[in-house]
Amino acid sequence: MITAIVLVKTSVDQIPEIAEAIAAIDGVSEVYSVTGGYDLVAMVRVRRHDDLAEVIPGRLNKVPGVAHTETQIAFRTYSQHDLEAAFALGLDG
C-alpha cells in the first residue's frame, strides 16, 4: 500500500464542501481540516504509484475550489495504534 499525504489550499468559504468532495474520491481514506498554511490534509492510499496520478492530479486537484496542493509520499508508517493492535492479538481472554 502506498500512502500519500496531500496538503490542500482551498477557498476558505467552501472548506466543508471541498473536504466532502475530496473524501468521496476513491483512494482518499481521510480528509482533515487543519490550521496553518494549508486548509485540508487528505490521506491517499493506493496500491500502485501509477494510481497516485489518477487520484491526485487526475481527480483531487480538479475539485472546484482546490487552489493548490503539495504531496508528500510516505516511506514507512509508524503508528502506536497499529503497534497496540499487533501486541494485543490473542490476549483478550
Decide if 44 contacts 29 (C-beta within 8 A).
Answer: yes
User: What's this model's pTM, rounded to 2 decimal places?
Assistant: 0.83
User: In the CATH hierarchy, which fold is given to the domain comprising 2-87?
Assistant: Alpha-Beta Plaits (3.30.70)
Question: Among 26, 92, 85, which Cα is nearest to 59's?
Answer: 26
pLDDT of the chain along its 93 residues, tens only? 999 999 999 999 999 999 999 999 999 999 999 999 999 999 999 999 999 999 999 999 999 999 999 999 999 888 776 656 555 555 555
Strand ranges inside the chain, DSSP E: 2-10, 28-33, 40-46, 66-73
